[in-house]
A and B are shown apart, each in its own frame.
Chain A
Amino acid sequence: MDEAGRGSGQDERYGAAAARFAAAVERLARGYEADPELRRDLVQEIHTALWRSFAYFEGQCSERSWVYRIAHNVAVSHLIARRRRKPESLVTLEELADLAGPGDPEKETDARRLVDRLLATIHRLKPADRQVILLYLEELTAAEIGEVTGLSAGAVAVRIHRIKALLSEPFLSGEAEE
């Protein structure tokens, strides 16, 4: 199907979704790409895929699930291509003992330090776990996370349990003490 022949209202539907999810897309890209230049490209790539996808969106799932599926598809492709160029060791949530340590406590606010530690942790995760934690942080329900990732309800529940444990007491009390 050519560009001109695609579904009417594509621009409007994309525009509405982009306005609603632009910040989430930025955060998602940050979870997949630490380099600011490459991250800008990734965000652009995700928006291009989203715009094209809205020619075909006919309510197959919720708009929110659709946007996150497209965005994660593009981001995971980006991650796989980058790993092929520069292999790096990734771990599962189960293998993760705790969150990454703070970078430079002198220069960082508590909230900034929290996000930086979170990001450093996310960047170490394998894609399946990375998807779940990023979606959890966007406050998707377990059912929605399953819908987006294709993971079973049990697999999502196990991962969320692990994420909650990681993000709870040791982390927060560590932030409070510093």
Chain B
Amino acid sequence: MTGSDPVIQAWQAWAAKAPPPALAELRAGADRFHRAIRLRNRMEYGASVLVVICFTAYAFLLPHPIARIGAALIVLGTFYVVWQLHRRASAVDVPGVEGALPLLAHQRAQLVRQRDALAKVWLWYLLPFAPGLAVMMFGPTIARDPAALLHMGWGNSASILFVMAVFAGIWWLNHRAARKLQKAIDEIDALRGE
């Protein structure tokens, strides 16, 4: 490579005196990014606080002791989900990674991290609520008369179907998002010639 190469000279002559942007502009841009992340996190944690408050109240106020145990299990499940959200899906700066990884590897690593979090949403986001919900919904009936489960009214059946539909919907939406991320990962692999 040589500086006397006319092509390189012509290339480098362009934008030879471009001034960098002001630091204040960069700080404003970075602050916007952090504000958006903080807002999203606050919403996630805020919803969790509401769930914890409601189900803690249920744990004390529900008439049936087994239902109270179910509510307490949901509170525990919520704490677990919040911890997993922070561990798996938070937007964190990884010191050095941007510069230490080769090109595209950083982008791919971020996509893989998000894909894995979404693909396993049943494990860390849905499953932790299942024991508490099951105990709350079925526990009191089983304690009274297990055979009564087979003769539940329309109201109870509809509630169970609704909860199952919500779980299935959450799983399906996340599974679809994970597939989209996989497509983006495949695009990167194709661009890298892998």
Are A44 and B184 within 8 A (Cβ)?
no
Chain B min CB distance to A37 (Å): 15
CA distance A123 to B6 in the complex (A): 20
Residue of A nearest to B33 (CB): A48
Tell yes or no: A111 within 8 A of B by CB. yes
* Interface residue from B1, B5, B29 paired with A48 (Cβ < 8 Å): B29
- Secondary structure of the A contact surface, majority rule: helix
Residue of B nearest to A148 (CB): B103
Tell yes or no: B155 within 8 A of A by CB. no
* Interface residue from B10, B29, B95 paired with A1 (Cβ < 8 Å): B95
Interface string of A21-62 (1 = CB under 8 A from B): 011011100100000000000011101110111011110110
Q: Could you say which residues of chain A place their CB within 8 Å of the CB of B98?
A: 49, 52-53, 56, 69-70, 73
* Interface residue from A56, A131, A149 paired with B99 (Cβ < 8 Å): A56
Q: Could you say which residues of chain B place their CB within 8 Å of the CB of A23?
A: 12, 15-18
In the complex, how many residues of chain B place their beta carbon closer than 8 angstroms to a beta carbon of chain A?
A: 46
Tell yes or no: A165 within 8 A of B by CB. no
Q: Could you say which residues of chain B place their CB within 8 Å of the CB of A118?
A: 7, 10-11
Q: Given A52-B98, A141-B1, 18 other A-B contacts at CB below 8 A? A: A3-B34, A23-B12, A23-B15, A23-B17, A25-B20, A30-B14, A44-B21, A47-B21, A52-B93, A60-B99, A69-B103, A76-B191, A80-B107, A92-B193, A114-B7, A128-B192, A137-B12, A150-B105
Chain B residues within CB distance 8 Å of chain A = 1, 3, 5-8, 10-21, 23, 25-27, 29-31, 33-34, 93, 95-96, 98-107, 184, 187-188, 191-193
Chain A residues within CB distance 8 Å of chain B = 1, 3, 11, 14-15, 18-19, 22-23, 25-27, 30, 43-45, 47-49, 51-53, 55-58, 60-61, 66, 69-70, 72-73, 76-77, 80, 83-84, 92, 111, 114-115, 118, 126-128, 131, 136-141, 148-150, 167, 171-172
